[in-house]
Amino acid sequence: MNIRTNGADGHANIAQRILTRLKIKQLRLLVAIAKHNSILHAAEEINISQPAATKLLKTLESDFNVLLFERTNRGVIPTQSGEALVKHGKLVLAQISTAAQELDDLREGLGGRIVIGTLLAASAQVLPRAIILLRKQRPKVSIMVRDGTNDFLMPLLHSGELDMVVGRLTEFRYREGLTQEILCDERIVVVCRKSHPLARQKSVSLDEMSRHQWILPPTQTTLRRQIDSAFFDQGFSSPSHPVECISFLTNRSLILATDMIGVFPIHVVQREITDGQLVIVNCKLNITQSPIGVSYRKESILSPAASSFLEMLRMASGEFHPNEEAWTVDQNHAAG
């Protein structure tokens, strides 16, 4: 089945069907079927019988005159129309959940709730500062922070499970439907432990560095692609067999315990450099500086709590002025 529409009249007819016939339970069922690829498991998730689920789905397909799911040897798979409705269904359900949570929080005097995604670039200074500022202004706001890479966080942002994502701004493939604000710039540095053979060298070539083991961001991250390009532009292959990890605690322990080399935004390793545990490697790895920013959905209205947090992010980034001269002094002291 396919929807047959004619221009504006067809669009109006579909819009009218959505407004008058679409039920929340149907949206929940659609999202659950797409999640499980099974009507039975979807029915169990929303606590109805399988026959009832099948009837709900058939009613929905009949109302919209379109096939939403196909039965295959891989399970129940959404059609193109099904994928479109599931995508928007997730957003609708997320907005309803957010509204319900906010009303409940306000009733109990909690002041709202926000869910933030964060990348490594923002997790050390900008995000904590913003949370501290928000706590002073709205101490009863509930805050959840989820970390990961853009490949993990951006789908959650698009589906409405996150209010915003803070970190290095995404590449073009994730920008559709998003508003992105630049908050501040970051400098990328190559670091090693103070007893590393390269720590005391005034200048280190890429050839020398390529002989050592590296810790790098995963291949799907913007920073990793910039690192690979920097090596390629100077006629070298990117480091072979690196440890790929976004956990700073893990990376920090590996670098301090071995002769591995790591690449980080400088403010992430500021304390370790200041304490003399880590040293900046004096190399000519030309990595483009990328801004730290915040991304949120264009079509959604931020809750009062999320709007306040966005303002706090802007304030926190305005205070973000890395003292690179001080770090250089600490680095030289540590090398000595």
Given a cut of 90, whether residue 216 has pLDDT beyond it is yes
Mean pLDDT of the chain: 82
Give mean pLDDT, residues 236-260: 91
| Better-scored residue on pLDDT, 97 or 24 | 24
Given a cut of 80, whether residue 70 has pLDDT beyond it is yes
Read off the tokens for 211: 């002989």
> What are the Cα distances from residue 285, in Å, to 144, 203, 224, 313?
36, 11, 13, 30
pLDDT of 2 reads: 45
Give mean pLDDT, residues 219-234: 85
Any bridge partners for residue 69, and if so which? Answer: 78
Give mean pLDDT, residues 203-211: 87
Which domains are delineated in the chain? 7-87 (1.10.10.10), 109-185+291-318 (3.40.190.10), 188-289 (3.40.190.10)
Which tens digit of pLDDT belongs to each residue from 22-43?
A: 778 888 898 999 999 999 999 9
Cβ burial, residue 228 (10 Å; 0-12/13-18/19+): middle
Q: How far is residue 150's CA from residue 152's CA, in Å, rounded to a whole number?
A: 5
Give mean pLDDT, residues 264-293: 85
pLDDT of 233 reads: 87
Q: What confidence tier does 266 reach under pLDDT thresholds 50, 70, 90? A: confident
Q: What confidence tier does 73 reach under pLDDT thresholds 50, 70, 90? A: confident
Q: What confidence tier does 3 reach under pLDDT thresholds 50, 70, 90? A: very low
Give mean pLDDT, residues 232-241: 87
Which tens digit of pLDDT belongs to each residue from 130-185?
A: 999 999 988 888 899 998 888 889 889 988 889 999 988 866 666 788 999 998 88
Read off the tokens for 58: 């058939």
